[in-house]
Each structure stands twice: as structure tokens, then as C-alpha cells.
Structure 1
Amino acid sequence: MRMAVAGGTGMIGRLVVGQARAAGHEAVVIARSAGVDVTTGAGLDEALRGADVVIDVTNIATMNRGVATRFFETVTRTLQEAERRAGVTHHVLLSIVGVDRVPWGYYRAKLRQEEVALAGGVPATVLRATQFHEFAVQSLTRFPGPVAVVPRMLSQPVAAREVAAELVRLAAGPPLGMAPEMAGPEPVPLADMVRRAARRHGPRKLVLGVPMPGRAGRAMATGGNLPDRPGVRGTQTFGQWLAEPR
């Protein structure tokens, strides 16, 4: 199959491209660096020529609900309009476990993206996944200084490469609507993950797990980001991932 990967130069996007090619598919990278803009549609028609499926793993670095919502709505609609013109028959979207239970601004934006994708003119599959193992390192290095402040949050982290493989598997099949959620093999508090990452690979910092305010904070701290139904489970634990060379 010819699979177009929107956001194909990002961390998860590169893994999806690699998994698609390893599975014998042709992978097309959709990114600004490849001359394609998913917000304006520039270059999309050419990129999607002959494509069977689009896998959307685009992202925006903001916690502002309004900014994130406008981005995700625009990208999803722009992609699906181009997909209809190109005859693409399947739209696959990566989302996050807990977007329907944790009332946080960014999650609400992702939930809106799911709604737009599922209501669009191209049949869609949405895969919700838990935080990647890499999230611990990102949380550790997000801000300079000797202290890393992270939300008090219970997660069930999963290997990004296992999520990438599942996205490719779903893309090769029929549209499912909401696919079974994907998570890692074991729940781990986020602050513990970040502390272990600091000890193993650095930078060494004091890690503080701080309760987030309001209903969103209570939901994060009490398992709102854990899967609440049967689904696909990754096999690599956070400890196994952490032991790998960086």
C-alpha cells in the first residue's frame, strides 16, 4: 500500500515511516521540510497522488486549548479534503488515552480532532495510546534549571515504536472508527519515570510531582490516563526501554 504519513519527520512520525517501509509499504512523508503544509494544503494534492491511506501524527507544541483546537481542526479538515480529491479511502489518527475523561485544554483539543476525523468524508480509524516512554525524558528536559516539575499523574507508558507498528497495522486494514486503546504493560507514576530517567541518563535534577489544579488534576492523579477497557498492550516496560543505550 501507499501510506502517507502527516507529521512524518517528528519523533513518532519517523517511526511510523520506518515501520511502514519495514512492512513492505510505500511511505510518503508529509511535512513542511518535504514541501507540504498541512495547515494551508500547499503541496498536499501532489503528496497524496496514488495514496491509499493517510496516517496523521501531527502535533503542536502548545497547552492552550484554543490554539490547539484551531490547529487540529484545520489540519484534519485540510487533510480530509485533499484525501477526497485524491481518492484516499482511509484516514488514521493518533490520539491519547484519557482525552474523554481528563478535562485539560490540550486533551479537549485532541477530543475535538477525533470528532472532526470521524465525522469527515473519509472513513477513519482513531487509535488512542498512552504516553510514550520518551515522555519522561521530554518532561525532564523541557525547562532549564536544577528542578523538574511534573504533574502528579499515573500513566501506563508504551514504547513509541510499538504504537507506530500498531498504526501501520490499522492503516493496512479497514476503517474501524474508534480502535481498541493501546497502552504499555504496567502503570507507573510519571514522577517516578522522570526520576529514573534522570538517574540513568541525566541531566540530574530534583523531580517534583505536583498536583494539577481542578478536575483535570484530580483525574490525572487518579488514573484518568489509564486505559479503562480492553485493548492492545505493548510488551516493553519502561525499565527495559530505559536500559537501552541512548
Structure 2
Amino acid sequence: MRIAIAGATGVVGRHVVAAAEARGHDILPLTRRTGHDLERGTGPSGSPLAAALDGVDAVIDVTSVQTTAASRSRAFFTAVTGNLLRAERDAGVGHHVALSIVGIDGADASYFAGKHAQERLVAAGDVPHTILRATQFHEFAEQVTARLSLGRMLTPIPVGHYRPVSAREVGVRLVEVAEAGAVGRARDLAGPREERLAEMVRRMFAHDGVRRPVLEFPLPGPYGRASASGALRGGADADRAAITFDEWLRSADHTPIGERADAAASARGARADGPRARG
């Protein structure tokens, strides 16, 4: 199969690429690095996005946006999803696969607002589709820590009850879904164990050798209530992934905090050196 992957360099996207290549598929990454602007709906050099999808059998959409604003999330997913679906229709793509989030039905707010908009567009579109909902990723512990840590003094973590799953296993499942053909709504995918987000962060700190207090706090609003209630854990009928959070911590998929800080410092240095070198 020829599979286009929207968001191929992201947390899940890189695992989708690896899984698809391992299964012998021909991959088309749809990213800004490859000249594709999915919010504008254009391909390389401003060409129509449909032209880039010529000969593609399936599109796997794992795009994401870093925001907690409902308006920005909704605008991003509406634009990207609409542009992809129109291009797929025009190019004759036979299957659109979208990744969504388990348990968001009662929380049309914050980042979830965009995922609701995405699901509605996909379900109403002309392209045969499959929506796979997965629980929060193990990688969420890294992401929330990077966003919320107050220097080296304190890391406030919102109350969250999840059954987290590794992005690697989500990537594999998405390729399997693409291979199987459109079914509308696939079985949800959840992780093997229930976890509390604050405890995940504490174990990650211990593993990485970081001494920093973790303060758990209730996050207000529909997003916070969904996280705290356990609604995002998935139901009893969800498929279960195998990799636990602690196994993920010990794997190459987890980048220890010190290494992430060094990489970020190197990137800042490279940006700072650029203008001087040109001058």
C-alpha cells in the first residue's frame, strides 16, 4: 500500500512511519518539512494537496496542535481535516484514518473541542473512514512536565486518572487499521494498567534522577473534570495494549529529562548562532 501520514514527525507519527515501513508499505510523509501545509491545503511549492495524494491508498492523520484553547484547537482540526478530506476525494483515496481520544464525549472543550470537530467532519465526509480512539500516551508525562514545571523548584500536575498507552503501540495499531479497510469506528485502544498522572511523573523523576516536588491540583472546567473522573481511561470493551508505563520508562522511547534539557539548550544555541554567522 501507499500510505500518506499527516503529522509524520510527531510523537505518534514517527511510530506510524516505522510500523508502516516495517510492514513493507510505501510512505508519503505530509509535513511542513516535505513542503505540505495542511492548514492551507497545499502541497510542495503551493501545488494542490490532491496532486500530492495521487496514487495514495490510505491517509493516516495524526496531526496535532499544542494548545489548550478550544478556539485554536477547533480551527486547526477543522482546517486540516477539511483540506485532507477534499484532497482525498479529488485524488480518489480509498481510506481516511483519524486518531482521536478515548472518553471525550462529555467534554467538548479545550483541546478536546478540536478532536470533536475532527470526528464530526470525518464521519460526515465522502471518503470511507476509520476513527481510532486511544487513551493518553505514556509520553504525556514528558509533555505535561515540560509545560508546567516551575524551573527546578516545583512541578504542578493536574489530577488525572488514565490507562496510558505507548505511542509506539498506537502507531502499529493505526497501520493495522489502515490495512484492514474502513469500518467507521474501530475498537478503542487503552493501556494495560490504570495510572494516576502525578504518580507517573514522580516515577519518571525518580527514574531520571530528578529531585523535584510534584504538587497535584484539580484542574477546573470540562477538561479537568474528564481527566479527574477517570472518563479518559476507556471502557471494559477497549482493546488492551501491552507496554506498561514503567517498561516505557526503561525503553529508548523515553528521553530522560537531562537529555531533553541538553537538546533544548543545543537548539537554542544553534538559533542564537545563526544570525551571527550570517552577519
For residues 127 and 202 of structure 1, what CA distance do their matches in structure 2 show? 36
Match of 1:111 among 111, 116, 119: 116
Structure 2 counterparts to residues 120-131 of structure 1, below 5 A: 120-131=125-136
Higher helix share: 2
Residue 139 of structure 1 pairs with residue 144 of structure 2 = yes
Residue matched to 2:85: 80
Deviation at 1:229, TM superposition (A): 4.3
Residue matched to 2:265: none
For residues 185 and 98 of structure 1, what CA distance do their matches in structure 2 show? 16
Structure 1 residues 124-133 or 38-47, which shifts more? 38-47
Unaligned runs of at least 5 residues, structure 2: 44-48, 256-279
Residue 167 of structure 1 pairs with residue 174 of structure 2 = yes
Deviation at 1:47, TM superposition (A): 2.4
Which has the higher Rg, Structure 1 or Structure 2? 2
8 Å Cα contact 2:108-2:116 kept in structure 1: no
Which amino acid in structure 2 is aligned with residue 9 of structure 1? T
Residue matched to 2:224: 217
For residues 239 and 54 of structure 2, what CA distance do their matches in structure 1 show? 32
8 Å Cα contact 2:104-2:226 kept in structure 1: no
Residue matched to 1:32: 32
How many residues align? The count is: 246
Residue matched to 1:157: 164
For residues 191 and 104 of structure 2, what CA distance do their matches in structure 1 show? 17
- CA-to-aligned-CA distance 1:25-62 (integer Å, 9 cap, x gap): 11110001101111111112332111000000001111
For residues 67 and 226 of structure 2, what CA distance do their matches in structure 1 show? 20
8 Å Cα contact 1:54-1:90 kept in structure 2: yes
For residues 89 and 221 of structure 2, what CA distance do their matches in structure 1 show? 41
8 Å Cα contact 1:48-1:82 kept in structure 2: yes
Structure 2 counterparts to residues 1-246 of structure 1, below 5 A: 1-43=1-43, 44-143=49-148, 144-145=150-151, 146-245=153-252, 246=255
8 Å Cα contact 1:104-1:216 kept in structure 2: yes
Q: Determine helix, strand or coil for the equivalent of 1:29.
A: strand
For residues 50 and 234 of structure 1, what CA distance do their matches in structure 2 show? 32
Structure 1 residues 180-189 or 46-55, which shifts more? 46-55
For residues 8 and 111 of structure 1, what CA distance do their matches in structure 2 show? 22
Unaligned runs of at least 5 residues, structure 1: none
For residues 183 and 176 of structure 1, what CA distance do their matches in structure 2 show? 19
8 Å Cα contact 2:110-2:223 kept in structure 1: no
- Taking structure 1 as reference, are residues 217 and 165 closer, same or farther at Cα in structure 2, changes over 3 Å only? same
Q: Determine helix, strand or coil for the equivalent of 1:93.
A: strand
Which amino acid in structure 2 is aligned with residue 58 of structure 1? T
- Taking structure 1 as reference, are residues 71 and 216 closer, same or farther at Cα in structure 2, changes over 3 Å only? closer
For residues 98 and 158 of structure 2, what CA distance do their matches in structure 1 show? 26
Q: Percent identity?
A: 45
Deviation at 1:202, TM superposition (A): 4.9
